[in-house]
């Protein structure tokens, strides 16, 4: 499988170019950990949103898809009205689909929108916003630049 390296500089420019498209009335950002953490932090800073929370999911072990899906939700959305849910990629779409089903069932009065850096047309979930379409496996800088190389 061909892999694409996504650098910090590409990420920085993408976040800056995306900001005018995003509505400014979100009161909460939820990062899907781990993939959405870096992107969510950048958006929270740029949009000046202090309420940044996380949901943790496990669907992949490296590049291998696991058979079971785990979701850990410690969010407190008691005062939230409009939430932006952030992940790095909508690949199979299973993670975003299950997270959104969970959040919408648990909080029916909240408006949720989603954003990813990458989207694959084969995904079963299309985010509200995405920057790039891809057919490749993406190696994000935060996944590979900080990995210790074996000696």
Q: Could you give the 3-state DSSP secondary structure of residue 96?
A: helix
User: Where do the domains of the chain lie, and which CATH numbers do they carry?
Assistant: 3-144 (3.40.50.2020)
Q: What percent of the chain has pLDDT over 90?
A: 77
Q: Which structure tokens are listed for 151?
A: 């000696």
pLDDT in tens, 9-37: 999 999 999 999 887 799 999 999 989 99
CA distances from 131 to 38, 57, 106, 126 (A): 15, 22, 28, 12
Q: Is beta strand 64-73 parallel, antiparallel or unpaired with respect to 52-61?
A: antiparallel
The pTM of this model reads: 0.89
Enclosing H/E stretch for 49: none
| b/e code 123-135 from CB counts within 10 Å (16+ = b) | bebebebbbeebe
Q: What percent of the chain has pLDDT over 70?
A: 91
- Looking from the CA of 133 toward its CB, the CA atoms found within 13 Å total 5
Q: How far apart are CA 87 and CA 97, in angstroms?
A: 12
Q: Are 144 and 92 in contact (CB under 8 A)?
A: no
Q: Which structure tokens are listed for 19?
A: 């900001």
Banded pLDDT at 8 (limits 50, 70, 90): very high
């Amino acid at each position: 499988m061909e892999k694409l390296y996504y650098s910090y500089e590409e990420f920085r420019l993408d976040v800056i170019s995306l900001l005018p498209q995003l509505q400014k009335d979100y009161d909460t950002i939820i990062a899907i950990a781990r993939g959405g953490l870096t992107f969510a932090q950048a958006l929270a800073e740029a949009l000046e949103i202090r309420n940044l929370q996380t949901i943790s999911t496990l669907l992949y072990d490296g590049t291998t898809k696991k058979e079971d899906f785990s979701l850990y939700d410690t969010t407190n959305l008691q005062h939230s009205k409009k939430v932006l849910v952030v992940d790095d990629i909508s690949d199979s779409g299973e993670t975003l689909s299950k997270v959104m089903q969970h959040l919408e069932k648990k909080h029916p009065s909240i408006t949720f929108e989603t954003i990813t850096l990458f989207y694959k047309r084969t995904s079963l979930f299309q985010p509200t916003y995405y920057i790039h379409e891809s057919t490749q496996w993406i190696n994000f800088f935060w996944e590979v630049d900080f990995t210790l190389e074996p000696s």
